[in-house]
Amino acid sequence: MRGDFESLGNWIIFTISSHTTTFIMIDLMKGTKLETFPESIKRALDVPAPNKAIPCCFLYDARGSALFEEITELSEYYLTRAEREILTEHSNAIAALCTKDTVVIELGSGSSNKTVHVLEAFIRNHESCHYIPIDISSSALELSKKDLLDKFPKNLQVTPICARYQDALAYIANHFSEYHKLILFLGSSIGNFLRSEAATFLTQLRRIAMKDGDKFLLGIDLRKDKDILEAAYDDGRKITEAFIKNILARANTELHADFDLSSFDYHADYLVDEGRVQMSLESKKSQIVNIKGLNIRICFAEGENVHVENSVKYSTSEIEQLAKKSGLVVEKTFFDKDIKFSLSLLTQSSNDIINKRIAELERCWKYSDDFFELLHPSAWLKRPIALRLPFLFYLGHLPAFAHNQICGPHLYASETRKSFNSVFDDIFSRGIDPDVEEPTICHSHPDYPDSWPSIGQILDYRSRVRDIVLSCLPDIIRSSSNLDKELSGDGRVASMVAEHEYMHSETLLYMYHGLEAKFKRISSRLRKNYIFGKSRVEPVDKSILIPDGQVTVGAEIDRLEFGWDNEFPSHVVHVPAFRIDKFAVTNARFLEFVLEKGYSTRSFWDPADWEWLQEHSIVKPLSWQIDPAASTLDVSSIKIETVFGDLIDFDDALEWPVWVSLAEARAFCKWSGKRLPTEEEYLRAAYGRAQVDSENDFPWGNEQPKPSLHGNFGLSSWSPTPVGTYPKGESSFGVDELVLSRSSSFLIEIDWQRLGMDKFHLRWILRISSLYRKLSRVLGRFL
């Protein structure tokens, strides 16, 4: 680019002379590391079948952009015309819904030619308009700016920003903080993202740039007949084919590759269930392509596919869902006359976020309250786990944590205001845990009082804390606060508090499980749902082949409301094919192991596990009660003790998943000639899909979880259920109940040290739901 520039921090301001006015382009690209075409080609193609996929952002070199312009004029490609029709028809209404102090921002503005209608309407409604187009191509920005200033020489101000969207929006948030914003994202470009990615993307943009009253105008192509869609992406003149194949042509010119374009077939398939057009290239024969510039040779098998682009389609309710998942509300949706395309005006509203956070907190509080109801009043000072504090401590600890995290920095940081009960804030601030290095002792912790406060005092403290927390939240969400930005944004600190509360429900549950039955106050509401008997037809030992594929381990911080540090950032792992049992190990199956001297055969046990077994004289799973008078061990002499302390006949619980420790599970596996899955294998079996190389939000797909349909979730059906009770909850590969629900025992080999856990927990925590997860891994707590 030509022009004089002065360097200003990490961006450069270009001053360019145009024929009408002097204008400024803000360039934030310097120093940003985008993946280059050669890097991307190497990463995308130098992999075994069926994983080849080229990112579609590389379609748009000069020739690609020209071909895309041609596509927009094809008779089959209705999208651009339909969107232009909506803009022509409704820009006035859109401008009228915006205030005069609104800057119009466009993501990926390209040539801005459809945007003209919006700008015109803004000028008509508000006399003038400030337009900020964002693109990574400075030449496109320069050209479109010239054009626009020719069209609107007087009333339009244009400030192009050459940057990635996130960087540009962060810049705008800082430099245009006094303005309202209308952010345009047109052309159904959002369709290039898979649905969950789209929500992450919008959430991220919203958090960066939007305040109350700001709006987002999103152009989205609608779901429709397969024929129409497939024609739109595989036109008669084969322009789209040339557009997609251009990525290979580009590799030929830029990387000196020798792709023979005619030996690849172009496919555009509309996958109806997913609502996604998938554009790919299929190798017509087995061939080897040389990419000289990268010094690599790529083998293609006959029929092997290279994925190039997705174009996801939405129904109106899916648009609502997308908005909701992104923390936005659909204010209005406009359609063309044939209802092929949509433009949705989404708004950011703190009230919705505040309500969501309040609901989240109230929900976790109810969950904890339900738990404490299960304790007999004489149990408050009991410590069934020697290395943990009495139950009463946790009654105070949960509110103290909320108060210290939320109100502490928000209200009491300035010293002018003091907490209403700093003594309780302190004594309940921190619990004890076994030491990570030496699990038989506690790690260091604050001193505890000789006698604890009364339950009444703690309950008072709790209810005051809850009131204060609720009164702080709107302030934290609406205005800046002393909280860490990561925690205050969207009131995420409330999610952390909820997560902490749910995490303790695990702690409390395993303490409760170890409590003598007389201290349990069994609630009829909670225990009415024991489910016995058989509920499946297949043999329990059926196993399933999971083909090789990739999984995402961990998460990106923007995808989660709350995450543990050790979850970030996410990374992708390739998992070789393996077989996994369809069902969790049942009591019946585990009994076989016990009867075949599983607990007395040293060779089944890891040395350390064997030592543990001997030291504690363990001869059976903890929840099995064996009749001391029985002469032989069989189904009639065993009862299963539930979390509530009920004794269930073994015969009734044959098909419940067995509750065991990791050591016992490992020994069982050795005995049966198998092994536990690794964490990556678990993720692959649970979230992977056979057809495409992306992952489900939940094992059964992307549908929101429903108890009674997808699994045994939540406190309302706390008892275990026989394996196979929820066929609709099976993973894509057909593996049963892979979401860790309240009552499942489910063991995988995890690097516990990395999770900050220790062996001590292994006897008890059979669920990893709140320890390490992606979205659905915390699902048990929400139902």
Q: Which residues bind ligand AVJ (CB under 6 A)?
A: 71, 79, 187-189, 191-192, 233, 240, 243, 309, 311
- Taking the complex as a whole, the smallest distance from the CB of residue 188 to ligand AVJ amounts, in Å, to 4
Q: How far apart are CA 148 and CA 781, in angstroms?
A: 53
Specify which residues 412 forms β-bridges with. Answer: none
CA angle 333, 339, 345 (to 5 degrees): 15
| Closer CB to ligand AVJ, 243 or 365, in the complex | 243
The residues near 246 (Cβ < 8 Å, ≥ 6 apart) are: 59, 61, 63, 64, 67
Can you tell me which residue has the tokens 């940057």?
163
The residues near 249 (Cβ < 8 Å, ≥ 6 apart) are: 63, 259, 261
The residues near 281 (Cβ < 8 Å, ≥ 6 apart) are: 244, 245, 248, 264, 265, 266, 267, 305, 306, 308
- Taking the complex as a whole, the smallest distance from the CB of residue 47 to ligand AVJ amounts, in Å, to 23
- Do 247 and 308 meet the contact criterion of CB atoms below 8 Å apart? yes
| Closer CB to ligand AVJ, 217 or 779, in the complex | 217
| Closer CB to ligand AVJ, 175 or 237, in the complex | 237
| Closer CB to ligand AVJ, 243 or 624, in the complex | 243
End-to-end CA distance of the chain: 56
DSSP 407: I
Q: Is the peptide bond before 720 cis (omega within 30 degrees of 0)?
A: no
| Closer CB to ligand AVJ, 311 or 342, in the complex | 311
Can you tell me which residue has the tokens 């309302």?
716
| Closer CB to ligand AVJ, 311 or 776, in the complex | 311
Residues 204-240: b if buried by 16+ CB within 10 A, e if exposed: bbbbbbbeeebbbbbbbbbbbeeeebebbbbbeeebb
| Closer CB to ligand AVJ, 191 or 657, in the complex | 191
| Count of H-run helices and E-run strands, the chain | 24, 23
| Closer CB to ligand AVJ, 265 or 749, in the complex | 265
- Taking the complex as a whole, the smallest distance from the CB of residue 260 to ligand AVJ amounts, in Å, to 22
| Closer CB to ligand AVJ, 71 or 740, in the complex | 71
Report residue 638 as tokens.
């065993």
| Closer CB to ligand AVJ, 188 or 368, in the complex | 188
| Closer CB to ligand AVJ, 208 or 312, in the complex | 312
- Taking the complex as a whole, the smallest distance from the CB of residue 272 to ligand AVJ amounts, in Å, to 17
- Do 664 and 651 meet the contact criterion of CB atoms below 8 Å apart? no
Q: How far apart are CA 555 and CA 363, in angstroms?
A: 24
Q: Give Dmax (Cα) for the chain.
A: 102
- Taking the complex as a whole, the smallest distance from the CB of residue 485 to ligand AVJ amounts, in Å, to 33
| Closer CB to ligand AVJ, 37 or 365, in the complex | 37
Residues 647-661: b if buried by 16+ CB within 10 A, e if exposed: ebebebbbbbbbbbb
**Which own/partner pairs from 675-679 qualify as long-range (CB within 8 Å, at least 24 positions apart)?**
675/749, 676/747, 676/748, 676/749, 677/578, 677/580, 677/748, 677/749, 678/748, 678/749, 679/553, 679/748, 679/749, 679/750, 679/751, 679/772
| Residue with smallest beta-carbon separation from ligand AVJ | 311
- Taking the complex as a whole, the smallest distance from the CB of residue 307 to ligand AVJ amounts, in Å, to 13
- Taking the complex as a whole, the smallest distance from the CB of residue 232 to ligand AVJ amounts, in Å, to 7
- Taking the complex as a whole, the smallest distance from the CB of residue 214 to ligand AVJ amounts, in Å, to 24
Q: How far apart are CA 315 and CA 332, in angstroms?
A: 15
- Taking the complex as a whole, the smallest distance from the CB of residue 230 to ligand AVJ amounts, in Å, to 12
- Do 570 and 772 meet the contact criterion of CB atoms below 8 Å apart? no
| Closer CB to ligand AVJ, 310 or 642, in the complex | 310
- Taking the complex as a whole, the smallest distance from the CB of residue 604 to ligand AVJ amounts, in Å, to 56
- Taking the complex as a whole, the smallest distance from the CB of residue 189 to ligand AVJ amounts, in Å, to 5
Question: What is the distance, to the nearest Å, from the Cα of residue 420 to the centroid of all Cα atoms in its chain?
Answer: 38
- Taking the complex as a whole, the smallest distance from the CB of residue 220 to ligand AVJ amounts, in Å, to 10
- Taking the complex as a whole, the smallest distance from the CB of residue 330 to ligand AVJ amounts, in Å, to 20
- Taking the complex as a whole, the smallest distance from the CB of residue 343 to ligand AVJ amounts, in Å, to 14
| Closer CB to ligand AVJ, 280 or 368, in the complex | 280
Report residue 373 as tokens.
């109801």
DSSP 586: B
Q: How far apart are CA 760 and CA 739, in angstroms?
A: 23
Query: Nearest-CA neighbor of 306 among 13, 52, 73?
Result: 52
